[in-house]
Amino acid sequence: MTSPAFVPLAITVFTPLLGMGLLAVVRTLSLAGWLNLGLVIIEFSASLVLAYDVAQGGEFIAHSFHIDAFNVYLVVLTTFVGLTTAIFSRPYMVEVCEQGHITSRRMRLYHSMFQGFQFTMLLALTTDNLGILWVAVEGATLVTVLLVSLYRTPESVEAAWKYFILCGVGIALALFGTVLVYFAAQQVLSDPEQGLTWSTLYTQAANLDLAVMRIAFVFLIVGYGTKVGLVPMHFWLPDAHSEGPTPVSAVLSGLLLNVALYAVVRFKMLTDGALADSLSPNTAGYLMMAFGLVSFSVAVLSLQRQRDIKRMFSYSSIEHMGLMTFAFGIGGPLATFAALLHMLVHSLTKSAIFVTVGHASHIAGTQSIEHIRGLIRTQPGVGWGLLLGVAAIAGFPPFGIFTSEFLILSATMQLWPWLTLLLLIGLVVAFAGLFRNLHPMVYGAIPDGQVPVKANMFPVVVHLFLVLWLGLAIPAFLSSWLDEVTRLISGKGLL
Amino acid sequence: MNLSQLPLLEQAIFVLAALVVLTSFSQLAQTRLTASIHSFAWQGAMVAMVTVLVATASGIPHLYLSALLTLSLKSLLIPWMLHRLVRRLNMEREVETISHPALMVLAGTGLVIFSYWVALPIERLELAATRNVVAVSLSVVLLGLWMMVARRRVVAQVLGFMSMENGLFLAAVASTRGMPLVVELGVAFDVLVAAVLFGVFFFHISESIDSLDVDRLNRLTSLDVKDHQAREETS
């Protein structure tokens, strides 16, 4: 069965695979940068066509790809952030190359792996097969390990090694969980080949053996949770974010964490189906709430004592991923809607922040917070970008994160009123930590000899504008879209 | 269900699965690198043999293919690569000191018991036999994990990682008659790429810290501490 929407899907998913091979052989640096940009433009346009088709024709399954409202929205987000990051990375990486941090051979590796990363992300999102999902997420680990260690400094090699080992272990546990799901499926389905097909499993979820599914989900949340950055499996995240090149930090925080969380939510939908008639139907949700809350609390506290600007923002990523995991765990339409919105706005804001931070550390010549000073006076664009970005991520009112955090808080208020207090305190503490460090960085006195750098703030402006727009008024098509996803996940729409 | 009532082929599968756990233990306590690599190669061979037995018992043809894949990848190619690396980095004679080998093995035993406890809730009658296999393969996974945590050498960590993969494969083959072929190929591809990357990293790590001891991979944490000390001194 081939649906007309399959063509844009194939273009979206397989263009990066093609690009990975192509960019591995292109030797000219500037050509590779432009080619990379061209490829992501194709991916983004194809994903828009795909989203339009799905909006018109509804979900479809073809050639073991499964597209519904949930993943198509993440596909568009992935290609969009990929696009803006490529716009930023082209001149940025040329400059890095000119400064002599990196040889042109490694630049080839960078561009090729950038496309490789896009491919694994898009494959993980669109596939209907839980085994392929695992293969793609593991593939993303392998690709990003190469990207994190790109500069080959002792620190970056160490960060990449820790990342490799920790995520390798985590993802192995996720495979064990997947095997258990397959095992449970085989007792129910007649055709063993269908045993990992998510859409088939979802229709049969109520028949799956609940003891097996419960054990499986524990492995899955620990496994994929490692990639989400949930505490206590989060140690790789600050290292990898701080030592990798800036565009890589942007896509790691903006995309990879989302895709891992997407995998957890897909499995939660299956587990909820299997446990629906049992004594504790919400086991998966409770687990996610617990992991989410612990991550949130630990991250806001760890954020306080960071001295490296990228490390600080990576702890802020852990905080927000914890919040989303918590909200998906609560379940119900309101919390789910809030979590979906939060996924969107956090991705946009965090990748904008990392891009700005890249410029800021370029200006100061270091990533140490103590030595980044007077950004607004040196280069107003970067300074204001950082200020507004942090205001957005801390949850200031006009921005979208305020809306989604407000919704998460109201959902918590309805079901777990006491936890609202914990969340509020956490948000205030995170806010204080961020602003305490931000203030001198943005306003402080300019160190001698600090000069502006060539900065490309276009992606930041676009992202922050979108976040602002989402905070002021969510467009009707987007809210009904998110509502459809909410209906898919929690069984009931919000609107 | 009494295990001795099962057909001989199934019983042989259980015996081999138990032997796989045994090789895990021998890797855990082995201080000489080359011997650990050999023991890992044997483990791969036994997992491949389990796959052949399952293929014969169930008559699923693609399992022969995955048995061949496991044999060539896990018991020939990867051990050979590790061997070559160890030789090129001049570590053949190196002996790693394990501070408390007895405690380490004892903790490993605890992990096996834990795995059985985890598999306990699977109580549907027809699954009783599979419960054993799930527990055994989970213990291989956890022993690999334990090896990665407890051992100090980069090579030992890689062996732990790879033997975790063996445990996963064992679970897939023995409890579910193998995953769909496309998934198995994907997993095998990932493992192969991971092995190559590990090799690349050996060189980077030995270049940057002049040793393959993970205890010396501590720049990122010590940076933080140094910074902290510097601040305390100034204040």
Apex A379 CA angle, A374 and A381, nearest 5: 120
Q: What is the mean pLDDT of residues A159-164?
A: 88
For residue B123, give every residue at least 6 positions away whose Cβ sits within 8 Å of its Cβ, in sequence order, or none.
A211
pLDDT of residue B222: 47
Q: Chain A residue closest to B120 (CA)? A: A211
pLDDT of residue B214: 67
List pLDDT tens digits, range B94-135: 777 777 888 888 999 999 999 988 888 776 655 566 778 888
| B234: pLDDT strictly greater than 60 | no
Q: What is the mean pLDDT of residues A484-493?
A: 85
Closest CA–CA distance from residue A460 to any residue of chain B (Å)? 29
Q: Measured between CB atoms, which of B126, B186, B208 is closest to A132?
A: B186
pLDDT of residue B216: 67
pLDDT of residue B232: 45
pLDDT of residue A3: 62
Q: Measured between CB atoms, which of A134, A146, A179 is closest to B171?
A: A179
Q: Say if residues A264 and A295 touch (Cβ distance below 8 Å).
A: no
Quote the pTM value: 0.91
- Out of A94-103, A390-399, A454-463, pick the least confident: A94-103
For residue A244, give every residue at least 6 positions away whose Cβ sits within 8 Å of its Cβ, in sequence order, or none.
A144, A147, A148, A150, A156, A159, A252
Interface test with A, best of B219, B224, B229 (most A CBs within 10 A): B219
Q: Chain A residue closest to B145 (CA)? A: A169
| Residues in chain B closer than 8 A to A159 (CB atoms) | 220
Closest CA–CA distance from residue A224 to any residue of chain B (Å)? 16
Report how far residue B169's alpha carbon sits from residue B160's, in angstroms, rounded to the nearest whole number.
Answer: 14
Q: Chain A residue closest to B185 (CA)? A: A135
> What does the block give as tokens for A360?
């800021």
Q: Does A436 touch chain B (CB under 8 A)?
A: no
For chain A, percent of residues with pLDDT exceeding 90: 33
- Out of A344-348, A443-447, B41-45, B70-74, pick the least confident: A443-447
Q: Does A243 touch chain B (CB under 8 A)?
A: yes
* CB within 8 Å: A165 and B176: no
Going from N- to C-terminal start, the domains of chain A cover 1-128, 135-490
Going from N- to C-terminal start, the domains of chain B cover 3-234
* CB within 8 Å: A209 and B223: no
Plot region of A280 (φ>0 → left; ψ -120 to 50 → alpha; else → beta): beta
List pLDDT tens digits, range A42-77: 999 999 988 888 888 777 887 788 888 888 889 999
pLDDT of residue B41: 92
Closest CA to A179 of B13, B115, B178: B178
pLDDT of residue A125: 92
Which neighbouring-strand residues pair with A129?
Answer: A197
| A292: pLDDT strictly greater than 90 | yes
Residue with tokens 């789910």: A336
Q: Measured between CB atoms, which of A152, A153, A307 is closest to B224?
A: A307
Closest CA–CA distance from residue B58 to any residue of chain A (Å)? 13
Q: Measured between CB atoms, which of A131, A172, A243 is closest to B180?
A: A131
- Which helix (H) or strand (E) segment is A479 a member of? helix A476-490
Q: What is the mean pLDDT of residues B176-190?
A: 81
Within A149-256, residue ranges assigned H as helices are 154-186, 198-204, 210-228, 236-243, 246-251
| B223: pLDDT strictly greater than 60 | no
| B228: pLDDT strictly greater than 60 | no
pLDDT of residue B42: 92
* CB within 8 Å: B161 and A159: no
Q: What is the mean pLDDT of residues A145-162?
A: 86
List pLDDT tens digits, range A351-392: 999 999 988 888 888 888 888 888 888 888 888 999 999 999
List pLDDT tens digits, range B187-215: 888 888 888 888 888 877 777 766 666 66
pLDDT of residue B211: 66
For residue A145, give every residue at least 6 positions away whose Cβ sits within 8 Å of its Cβ, in sequence order, or none.
A160, A163, A164, B197
Report how far residue A188's alpha carbon sits from residue A202's, in angstroms, rounded to the nearest whole number.
Answer: 12
Q: Does A161 touch chain B (CB under 8 A)?
A: yes
pLDDT of residue A427: 92
Closest CA to A277 of A207, A176, A332, A175: A207
pLDDT of residue B1: 53
List pLDDT tens digits, range A174-202: 998 998 898 888 888 877 778 888 888 88
pLDDT of residue B225: 44
Q: Measured between CB atoms, which of B122, B126, B144 is closest to A212?
A: B122
Q: What is the mean pLDDT of residues A29-46?
A: 87
Per the model's pLDDT, the better-predicted residue between A326 and B157 turns out to be A326
Q: Does A187 touch chain B (CB under 8 A)?
A: yes
